[in-house]
Amino acid sequence: MNDAIRLTDLSVRYGRVRALDGLSLAVSRGEVYGFLGRNGAGKTTTLRVLMGIVGADSGTIELFGQPMKRVSVATKRGIGYVSQEQNFYPWMTPSQLGRFVAPFYPTWDHDEYVRLLRVLDVPPDRRSGTLSGGTRTKLGLALALAPRPPLLLLDEPTSGLDPVARREFNDLVVSMARERGTTVFLSSHLVDEVEGVATRVGIVQTGRTSIEGRVDELRDRVRRVRSAAPLEPPPGFTRVRGDVWLADGSLWVAAMWPDGTSVEPLPLEEIFLAFARTDAPVDAAA
């Protein structure tokens, strides 16, 4: 099995609220998968399911080819997790936090943890409660990577970082995937950041994956069609929103358009904006 993560028709309810509504996606081993969506689209719930914090009401979960109803403690030992907000015992220093966390992970690598603190410029002997938000995020990454996990889950990890720290953080994540084969699942609403690091991208909308694929594939499938006269999508084409249409790349090549029609490729941000709005959702993931 080449998939590190495979979620199929996953649904999660919080009372009357359906946080996930048939979400399906697949993440290949060793890739950086950018999980894009607006706030409230279901990104954090998906990560909570993958961490075993929340159980799915229906659907299937597979991690590294193993189906499971809910992610077990043993499986979680092979997952590194960095959340948007880092909460540590404020009186503990990074060195103390490393010693505290190490017994939970059989693969904990102390030398690697010390190296990561140095590379990320995290002072090892300052109390975590005195560290800046950006430094706490980098501390969270060091704690997540020190066990050398095969799977790294990142939930909006760089939202509080300055541009330099964000670049350093992303460069380290990419190097982990390239050098160690770590699978990275990066949840974010920052399109430019995801575009710079992700191997593939999935866009989630109202609890469902609307579309996924490599960035070049998405640009090949989603384009803007401008015409002076009203146009109806030809067979095999779907109007996503306004003048943004979806079709297989081969159909775009073969299509014949009336005079005065322009067909334009779109940057990832425009594709995201077309799919991520909550009115009239379009499902192109199938």
Report, as an integer, the average pLDDT of 98-113: 94
pLDDT in tens, 24-73: 999 999 999 999 998 888 999 999 999 988 999 999 999 998 888 888 88
CA 35 from chain center: how many Å? 3
Residue type at position 138: K
Q: What pLDDT is stored for residue 26 in this prediction?
A: 94
Cβ atoms < 10 Å from Cβ of 234: 13
Report, as an integer, the average pLDDT of 72-96: 89
Are 169 and 158 in contact by the 8 Å Cβ rule? The answer is yes
Nearest to 32 by CA among 161, 202, 218: 202
pLDDT in tens, 213-228: 999 999 999 999 998 8
Nearest to 154 by CA among 130, 131, 177: 177
How many Å apart are CA 275 and CA 190, to the nearest integer? 15
Res. 286 pLDDT band, cuts 50 70 90? very low
Please tell me whether residue 283 adopts helix, strand or coil conformation.
coil
Q: What pLDDT is stored for residue 282 in this prediction?
A: 54
Nearest to 59 by CA among 50, 115, 179: 50
Contacts of 86-91 with C-beta under 8 Å, sequence gap 24+, read 86/133, 86/136, 86/137, 86/139, 86/140, 88/128, 88/129, 88/136, 88/139, 89/128, 90/127, 90/128, 90/129, 90/130, 91/127, 91/129
Cβ atoms < 10 Å from Cβ of 100: 13
Higher per-residue pLDDT: 70 or 81? 81
Q: What pLDDT is stored for residue 176 in this prediction?
A: 81
Residue 64: left (phi > 0), alpha (psi -120 to 50), or beta?
Answer: left
How many Å apart are CA 205 and CA 282, to the nearest integer? 9
Q: Which residues contact 120 (CB under 8 A, 6 or more apart)?
A: 138, 139, 141, 142, 168, 169, 172
Q: Would the pLDDT of 283 be above 70?
A: no
Q: Of 23-32, 153-162, 191-200, which range is least confident?
A: 153-162
How many Å apart are CA 108 and CA 22, to the nearest integer? 36
Res. 281 pLDDT band, cuts 50 70 90? very low
Q: Which residues contact 242 (CB under 8 A, 6 or more apart)?
A: 274
Please tell me whether residue 18 adopts helix, strand or coil conformation.
strand
Q: Would the pLDDT of 178 be above 90?
A: no
**Pairing state of beta strands 183-188 and 32-36?**
parallel
Res. 278 pLDDT band, cuts 50 70 90? low
Are 205 and 275 in contact by the 8 Å Cβ rule? The answer is yes
Q: What pLDDT is stored for residue 279 in this prediction?
A: 55
By the 10 Å C-beta count (0-12 exposed, 13-18 middle, 19+ buried), 17 is classed as exposed
